[in-house]
Structure 1
Amino acid sequence: MSAIHKRSHLVDTGWVKTNRPVWVILLVGLCAGLILQGSRGLWSPDEGRYVGAALQMLGSGNFLAPAYSPTELNFSKPPMTYWVIAASLKLFGNNTWAARIPYALSFGTTLALLFLFGRRVSPRKPWAPSLVYATSAFPFLTANVVSTDVLLTVFETLAVLGFVMATWPVHELPRRQGLRLMWLGFALAFLTKGPPGLLPLLPIVTFSVFCGDWRSVRRLFDPVGFVLFMVIGFSWYAMAALRYPWLIHYFLHDEVYGRIFTSMHGRHAGAIGWAQIYVPVLVVGTFPWWTAVSGALGEFFRPGRLRKLRNERSIQLFAALWLVIPLLIFCLSQSRLPLYLLPLFVPLALLSASRLETGFDIHSNRTRGLLLGWVILLLSIKGYAAYGLSAKDDNRRAAGEIASLTAGADYAAVIFLEDNLDSYAVEEQTPWGVRLYLDKPVYGVSARSPDAAAQLCAAIQAQGRALIVVNQALPATALETMTRSCRPTLHLVERWRSNELVLAQQPIL
């Protein structure tokens, strides 16, 4: 064997041996995401809402305008989440397992991307960021939650990876290729959640200015990459706004101003709402890596440390900015939910990995035993949620109960007549996910809205025969009063959770 060939063989063997843990981590992560995917039914409000909208797209063929039902549009989120779920349902069938497949794959993809980060953050243990993320409680337990945030985490991670590849190249990869990858990731993130998908741009710009100058920011805007972002990220917004001109006002007023500056959505607003929702997520969600997380964050408080990291253009400094700046914005915003923080567990994993370069031996039997026990415990928690927890918001359970009570009845849709005042309350209270299990369109009608009677009659007339779930808090005569103009035949079938199940048939003229 020649000296050059021998040296190449040793390098390849060493690389494989050094990075063997990453293949185990990716396999465990993928299996952890897939296990119990279909065991738990869809939960209201979010899981049922996203899957219901995906089914409506498939049923109507309208992939431009997300909708809960044939008459209720839903532009609260861009369409990427619905498109991904709809594609999975089309490929694997209408079942819970298929609805959650994209999330298991997203979890695994995030781990793979973190390995590419690891080659720069912890070169001696490039698998460390993947290990931290895969076994942190919050990312692990949310890997099969149907939401926008699991997908958003993948796309934001891809975007930041592009910036990192351009700023800290490992191989002779042209800088512009990394920037184009960055803008592609941001385009997909923007199609997933709108402006919040661009939050990592703030730490990118801050780092570029802090460790360089404004010319560094200008260089981020690679012409091809930025055009790619505009075409992919904005085309759907442009087409939707052309068809629905009122959308621009809705996006700016409700989805930007309303979520950031007002409590209109009732999501842990107020001066201390951020502490009530985010502190538990960060404290419990980072277990069992508390020591690594606290040690990494504590490094920045050492005298002269910040200046040193700035002079070195340290990737650890960038990871800290990636964590802190979006977190501050989330805390200041008046709309707060636990899953908003999921993308921030990526920089947390990067910071923690830098502390694992020394003193952490993954080949130790004790370490492997503890990690295995921890993964089994996390899987047990998922199992309990699937089999031991009888959640009242479980849409599969609700659909099973309704189907049992209405066995033999003929109806084409289910209408939930809710006792509330506005459309947002209808979004939150209607179990949209029962559509997956009953295979029938689901409507939500606010009984107190001015056009409630018109909405109810329009739904009955469109479907011919409908099952109306009348909220128990409504007056006994509410349904008859609201349907006076369309005069369907009403027949009380049964009671479900104290609500009336009423069959409504539109008379044939």
Structure 2
Amino acid sequence: MWIAALALVLAFAFLGSRGIWDPDEGRYTNVAVNMLESGDWLNPHRNVDIGHWTKPPLTYWAVAASIGAFGLNPWAARLPVALSYLLCVWLAWRLARRLAPGTQATAAMAFATMLLPFGAAQLVTTDFILVACETLAVWAFIEGRRGPGRPEPWIALMWAGFALAFLTKGPPGLLPLLVVLLFDGLMPGRRRAFQLTGIALFALLALPWYVAVMLDNPGLFEYLIGDEVVNRVTTNEFGRHGQWYGWATIYLPTLVLGTLPWTPTLWRWTKGLPARLRRWRDPAARHDDAALVFLTAWVLLPLLVFCLSRSRMPLYLLPLFVPLALLVAVQRHTEGRPLPPWPQMLAWALVLIALQFGTAIWPTHKDASAWAREIQARTPDPVHEVIFVDDMARYGLRLHLDAEIEKVSLDPIPPGTQTRFNPVNDEDLATELAEAADDPGAIWICKQALWPQVQARVADHGHRAEKLGTPYRGRVIFRTRPAATP
């Protein structure tokens, strides 16, 4: 109960105190609000005219449902992620209870207090929802294989969990399925992961959305497979540390710092890993150490895939932190010291809460709420559209201003050159001026260095750009009017 209480505090402390941070939180909340207000829950959109096809819809659905229930605020936007964190704490407990009885308290405590899961629990991305779905699937597999009773309902739940993971992040959500299949092959028994009813349930839950949007958007299948899967894995097109050494610069610090304060325990486990791998060449030894074999495979197999992929980000490793927490628990129980003293853990929890408070008050250009205040201070009119000219669109303003966000290019976009799915710009300056030039509720933003060119280009199109107040963070906030307006 104390661990549950601590996890609740860590999940909800200052949950809504910080504004939405761009770019990641802004993108997800923007699409979710657009879904909620348009009523189109099938097609993700970044604005009325442009779709947003980088991720499947489950995260958007969860955030939109939460905002619909609790209002247009950061607390509601982050609630699904915080609940996913709490679900993973509970699943870590349940998995440890089945795989290594007696270690469950340590496993739950380790996951709840590791630095990376704690930090990700208040960040609106797909990652924690993905971890919750994958961990649910793995737990169901373990219950079906090692628990009492009939395995069929558990295997069905496993496939349902993987279906939800597939709806959260597509094919990467099925990485733990490779672990399940590998373990099923290494440890043959009467309970097998492949069951026709489970696979049918997966297809029923996971595939209808994909089929519907692909039929409605010809070419989407090629884009999702080509750009969002193949190119992310095999190229550095997205600029995510695709160098040959990128895995070391991103993943080693993530594992060392992200597992604090349990890193020393995991280091001791790592030092013993080569000897265990040699021992597990013997089938009888694998059978005796079945739980440890599974946890090791759950960490190493996905980690190998992440390292080989040329798209690398710290949060990609978040799904590994449940098995890492279980390995911490097993290692500490082997050493005869399951849990650190409570004063030490409470002191660490206070450090984590202080970090939450610090991020809530830390001034940063990423904070969309600060941008919203600056915009509202410059105009008495309600703002219903914010247009960024050759600059990063701050989609977090969708939540804080309830305004549509657009990104336009200063130069004309030649016909036929705009990519159909996820184009860089929504349209060009000339087109947007024709739509919103004399609208007092339309606010424009550009980089200060670009301001003279923007003024001149707006004038070339028969309008004038009026600066609103002083620049903010190197950006000029302005509105436009037809040149003939007095």
Specify whether residues 459 and 295 from structure 1 end up closer, same or farther in structure 2 by C-alpha distance, changes over 3 A only.
Answer: farther
Q: Deviations over 1:474-506 (max 9, x none)?
A: 362435536866x55643323432323222357
Does the Cα contact within 8 Å between 2:329 and 2:338 map onto a contact in 1? Answer: no
Distance 1:103 1:504 in 2: 39
Does the Cα contact within 8 Å between 1:52 and 1:432 map onto a contact in 2? Answer: yes
2:59 maps to 1:99: no
Q: CA deviation at 1:316?
A: 1.1
Distance 1:257 1:393 in 2: 30
Amino acid at match of 1:295: R
Distance 2:294 2:482 in 1: 63
- Secondary structure of 1:72's match? coil
2:252 maps to 1:248: no
Does the Cα contact within 8 Å between 1:445 and 1:456 map onto a contact in 2? Answer: yes
Does the Cα contact within 8 Å between 1:104 and 1:143 map onto a contact in 2? Answer: yes
- Aligned match of 2:183 in 207, 226, 229? 207
Does the Cα contact within 8 Å between 2:175 and 2:302 map onto a contact in 1? Answer: yes
- Aligned match of 1:337 in 301, 313, 335? 313
Q: Which residue of 2 aligns with 1:43?
A: 21
Q: Which residue of 1 aligns with 2:343?
A: 369
Does the Cα contact within 8 Å between 2:383 and 2:401 map onto a contact in 1? Answer: no
Q: Which residue of 2 aligns with 1:283?
A: 256
Specify whether residues 458 and 254 from structure 1 end up closer, same or farther in structure 2 by C-alpha distance, changes over 3 A only.
Answer: farther
Does the Cα contact within 8 Å between 1:121 and 1:354 map onto a contact in 2? Answer: no
Distance 1:398 1:268 in 2: 29
Unaligned runs of 5+ in 2: 414-426
- Aligned match of 1:412 in 381, 384, 390? 384
Amino acid at match of 2:398: R
Distance 1:128 1:54 in 2: 36
Specify whether residues 461 and 209 from structure 1 end up closer, same or farther in structure 2 by C-alpha distance, changes over 3 A only.
Answer: farther
2:245 maps to 1:269: no
Amino acid at match of 1:305: R
- Secondary structure of 2:65's match? helix
- Aligned match of 1:186 in 140, 143, 162? 162
Q: Which residue of 2 aligns with 1:125?
A: 103
Does the Cα contact within 8 Å between 1:413 and 1:466 map onto a contact in 2? Answer: yes
Specify whether residues 156 and 491 from structure 1 end up closer, same or farther in structure 2 by C-alpha distance, changes over 3 A only.
Answer: same
Does the Cα contact within 8 Å between 1:465 and 1:506 map onto a contact in 2? Answer: no
Q: CA deviation at 1:29?
A: 0.6
Does the Cα contact within 8 Å between 1:457 and 1:483 map onto a contact in 2? Answer: no
Distance 2:48 2:464 in 1: 22
Unaligned runs of 5+ in 1: 1-22, 420-428
2:443 maps to 1:470: no
Distance 1:465 1:294 in 2: 57
- Secondary structure of 2:450's match? coil
Q: Which residue of 2 aligns with 1:444?
A: 407
2:337 maps to 1:360: yes
Does the Cα contact within 8 Å between 1:361 and 1:367 map onto a contact in 2? Answer: no
Specify whether residues 332 and 474 from structure 1 end up closer, same or farther in structure 2 by C-alpha distance, changes over 3 A only.
Answer: same
Does the Cα contact within 8 Å between 2:412 and 2:430 map onto a contact in 1? Answer: no
Q: Which residue of 1 aligns with 2:421?
A: none
Q: CA deviation at 1:277?
A: 1.0
Q: Deviations over 1:117-142 (max 9, x none)?
A: 01123212322211110111111122
- Secondary structure of 2:123's match? coil
Specify whether residues 275 and 102 from structure 1 end up closer, same or farther in structure 2 by C-alpha distance, changes over 3 A only.
Answer: same
- Aligned match of 1:386 in 332, 335, 360? 360
Distance 1:433 1:504 in 2: 23
Distance 2:459 2:216 in 1: 31
Distance 1:300 1:390 in 2: 43
Q: CA RMSD in A?
A: 2.4
Q: CA deviation at 1:331?
A: 1.0
- Secondary structure of 2:406's match? strand
Q: Deviations over 1:51-99 (max 9, x none)?
A: 1111111221111111111122110001111111111111111111111
Q: CA deviation at 1:411?
A: 4.3
Specify whether residues 111 and 468 from structure 1 end up closer, same or farther in structure 2 by C-alpha distance, changes over 3 A only.
Answer: same
Q: Which residue of 2 aligns with 1:223?
A: 196
Does the Cα contact within 8 Å between 2:381 and 2:440 map onto a contact in 1? Answer: no
Amino acid at match of 1:435: R
- Aligned match of 1:54 in 25, 32, 50? 32
2:435 maps to 1:435: no
Specify whether residues 77 and 140 from structure 1 end up closer, same or farther in structure 2 by C-alpha distance, changes over 3 A only.
Answer: same
Which of 181-190 and 470-479 deviates more?
Answer: 470-479
Distance 2:26 2:62 in 1: 15
* TM-score, length of structure 1 as denominator length: 0.86
Q: CA deviation at 1:294?
A: 2.4
Does the Cα contact within 8 Å between 2:19 and 2:368 map onto a contact in 1? Answer: yes
- Aligned match of 2:151 in 175, 178, 183? 175
* TM-score, length of structure 2 as denominator length: 0.90
Q: Which residue of 1 aligns with 2:208?
A: 235
- Secondary structure of 1:415's match? strand
Amino acid at match of 1:415: I
Specify whether residues 455 and 225 from structure 1 end up closer, same or farther in structure 2 by C-alpha distance, changes over 3 A only.
Answer: farther
Does the Cα contact within 8 Å between 1:470 and 1:499 map onto a contact in 2? Answer: yes
Which of 302-311 and 346-355 deviates more?
Answer: 302-311
The 5-angstrom pairing of residues 149-164 of structure 1 reads 149-164=127-142
Q: CA deviation at 1:353?
A: 1.3
Q: CA deviation at 1:466?
A: 1.3
Specify whether residues 275 and 120 from structure 1 end up closer, same or farther in structure 2 by C-alpha distance, changes over 3 A only.
Answer: same
Specify whether residues 246 and 94 from structure 1 end up closer, same or farther in structure 2 by C-alpha distance, changes over 3 A only.
Answer: same
Q: Deviations over 1:244-290 (max 9, x none)?
A: 11211110111011110111111111011111111111001111212
Q: CA deviation at 1:161?
A: 0.8
Distance 1:483 1:72 in 2: 27
Distance 1:199 1:462 in 2: 51
Which of 155-164 and 497-506 deviates more?
Answer: 497-506
Specify whether residues 252 and 458 from structure 1 end up closer, same or farther in structure 2 by C-alpha distance, changes over 3 A only.
Answer: farther
Distance 2:442 2:482 in 1: 9
Does the Cα contact within 8 Å between 1:297 and 1:351 map onto a contact in 2? Answer: no
Q: Deviations over 1:211-259 (max 9, x none)?
A: 339x98xx42212211111111111111111111121111011101111
Does the Cα contact within 8 Å between 1:402 and 1:496 map onto a contact in 2? Answer: no
- Secondary structure of 2:46's match? strand
2:57 maps to 1:84: no
Which of 437-446 and 462-471 deviates more?
Answer: 462-471
